[in-house]
Structure 1
Amino acid sequence: MTHDSIVLERGGRYHLRRVFIYCCLMFIAAVYLLPLVVVVFTSLKNIDEIRNGSLLSLPKAPTLGAWQEAWSAACIGLQCSGLKGFFLNSMILIVPAVGLSTAIGAINGFALTHWRFRGSNVIFALLLFGVFIPFQIILIPMARSLGAVGLANTMPGLILVHVVYGIPFTTLFFRNYFVSLPSELVKAAKVDGAGFYQTFFRVILPISIPCIVVAVIWQFTNIWNDFLFGTTFTSGDNVPVTVALNNIVNTTTGVKRYNVDMAAVVLTALPTIAIYVLAGKYFLRGLMAGSVKG
């Protein structure tokens, strides 16, 4: 066998392996995307087409009527105003909850790595323990605490819950990221007379964008998709969009309108889908950036 034939044979095997890998990846992607395809197709059909067709059949006459109804006219109990008001509730919830939990986690992570103090390891261990506490365990104590401070059944109370529960996660992210940064940066800032906050805001924070992106995406996804805290600590017009979605699906007046339910599902999921599509690669980079010395 000549050298050229050996090279061709190896090249053929390499291409076959690549084709096999890509086929496997395409199959896995199709499996994961299939439910989304079914939901989108159903939301674009009318009721007769849903009854007479199959789940994977293409819409014969696509319409956005179900989307419009889900947004502004779908009934939630006795109120028929759609998701738009509750979508706004989730936006009001997400901005301060994500911002505060990320900011506090960043300061905690910096203090626990480059500004050590007595008992810092114990504090970090306690915060790390908070990562593994199941949601269900804290429902009753948290409800009693919110009632004691006058924040029960309010949006500020729900914001406080998400901030408190998010701090252990964001602290862990930033602590692992800051461990990988050279300690000489902080030492040089101290020599120049910079204090804690000057060092943090002027030296550390500008080079922490990858970790900030990770923390923001993580918190955004968890808070936006949360149902348990929303349905436990709020009610009525104060509930977030995920609770309103559940109420739309469980509200039946006459004929069950599956296209409206599916449109409501897509509308509720759009923000998290968008943030992963637009910033997914930065999320992976941030995770890898903090995985060296954590």
Structure 2
Amino acid sequence: MTWHRIVLWTALVLFAVWFLTPLYVMIVTSLKDMDQIRGGNLMEPPTHLNFASWGKAWNQACTGTDCGGLKPFFMNSVSMVVPAVAISTTLGIVNGYVLSKWRFRGSEVMFAMLLFGVFMPMQVVLLPMSQILGYFGIASSIIGLIVMHVLAGIPSTTLFFRNYYVGLPDELIKAAMLDGAGFWRILWRVVLPLSTPILVVTLIWQFTNIWNDFLYGVVFSGADSKPITVGLNNLANTTSSVKEYNVDMAAALIAALPTLFVYVVAGKYFVRGLTAGAVKG
């Protein structure tokens, strides 16, 4: 251990403590009862584990006038995220494959136009998209949210897969064509088996963006289709005679658990996918 490695590890530990402290506070606060919260300090661990706040946050806490907890909002998010991630990723695979290996006249222009969707502020599309969803009769519904997130995610997924597929040897495609394989067979038998790193990156990216989205959820959802982020906001802003901080912290952790689980389980694959070409091209 040289001095510069000691300095490096010290800095890394300090940064880790800095970023993990809010998570620690949330966890210990959610496991305390209100008496300990009022009489103790913020960093003090719970004297005894109290999971009642978790149960209340899940199925009893008030989110406005409704006191059914976060459970319906959580299920709405699951119903929205799974198809939205699957569809946007599938379309990104096909688009990236076409724009990298089956180029046509104007394909580069089309790709450049798609890139505008990556950097365009979300607020720009709120009014026109609400009119379009209303015209098709899917406004304020789970289906409308799925359509919105699919359309918003296509530019990013296309960018990821296109830049990754540019690095694949063209000889693989030509060899498969000489063997008589067509467009879809080459994609399914040749390209997809080589796409695991970027596929993991895209799935994690889309899942995180859609699950944590608040703007689209609050604008395009109805009374029965609000996602978990809107439910958490309503719960935190609901006034009562006693502010139950343990319930609020438990609710925040419930909303964050899926993304935390994904990054803990697949975080190393996310980094590998990025270094394998997700940001190249």
Question: Could you state the TM-score of these two structures normalised by the residue count of structure 1?
Answer: 0.94
Q: Which of 26, 38, 44 is the matching residue for 2:13? A: 26
Instruction: Say whether 1:275 aligns with 2:262.
Output: yes
For residues 139-288 of structure 1, the aligned pairs below 5 Å read 139-288=126-275
Count of residues in correspondence between the two structures: 281
Corresponding residue of 2:86: 99
Instruction: State whether residues 249 and 261 of structure 1, in contact with CA within 8 Å, keep that contact through their aligned partners in structure 2.
Output: yes
- Is residue 46 of structure 2 the alignment partner of residue 59 of structure 1? yes
Contact preservation (8 Å) 1:90, 1:241: yes
* Deviation of 1:50 (Å): 1.0
1:253 offset after TM fit, Å?
2.2
1:292/1:159 CA distance change after superposition, 3 Å: closer
Q: Distance in 2 between matches of 1:35 and 1:209?
A: 33
Q: Determine the structure 2 residue equivalent to 1:3.
A: none
**Which residue in the other structure is 2:35 paired with?**
48
Structure 1 residues 291 and 174 mapped into 2: Cα distance closer, same or farther (>3 Å)?
A: closer
Show structure 2 runs of 5+ residues with no match: none
Hey, what's the Cα distance between the residues in 2 that align with 1:257 and 1:234? 27
- The sequence identity of aligned pairs, in percent, is 55
8 Å CA contact 2:117–2:152 kept in 1: the answer is: yes
Moved over 6 A (4+): none
Deviations, residues 76-112 of structure 1 (Å, cap 9, x unaligned): 1221111111111111001100000000001000000
Q: Judge conservation of contact 1:86–1:244 (CA < 8 Å) in 2.
A: yes
Q: Which has the larger radius of gyration?
A: 1
Give the CA deviation at 1:46.
1.1
Residue type at the aligned position of 2:117: G
Q: Equivalent residue for 1:38?
A: 25
Contact 2:161 2:278 in 1 (8 A): no
CA drift of 1:202 comes to 0.8
What is the one-letter code of the residue matched to 1:241? I
Aligned to 1:9: none
**CA–CA separation in structure 2 for the residues paired with 1:269 and 1:250:** 18
Taking structure 1 as reference, are residues 257 and 103 closer, same or farther at Cα in structure 2, changes over 3 Å only? same
Offset of residue 59 of structure 1: 1.0
**Corresponding position of 2:75:** 88
- Whole-angstrom CA distance in 2 between matches of 1:61 and 1:84: 26
Equivalent position of 1:108 in the other structure: 95
Q: 1:76, 1:82 within 8 Å by CA — same for their partners in 2?
A: yes
Q: What do the CA deviations read for 1:148-184 (whole angstroms, capped 9, x no partner)?
A: 1111101100000000000000000001100111110
Q: Quote the offset at 1:235 in angstroms.
A: 2.4
Q: Which residue of 2 aligns with 1:7?
A: none
Note the aligned Cα RMSD (angstroms).
1.0
Q: What is the CA-CA distance between 1:233 and the residue it aligns to? A: 0.2
DSSP 3-state at the match of 2:138: coil
Q: What does residue 73 of structure 1 align with? A: 60
- Structure 1 unaligned runs (5+)? 1-13
* Partners of 1:101 and 1:109 in 2: CA distance: 12
Separation (CA, whole Å) in 2 of partners of 1:285 and 1:127: 25
2:135 is aligned with what amino acid? A
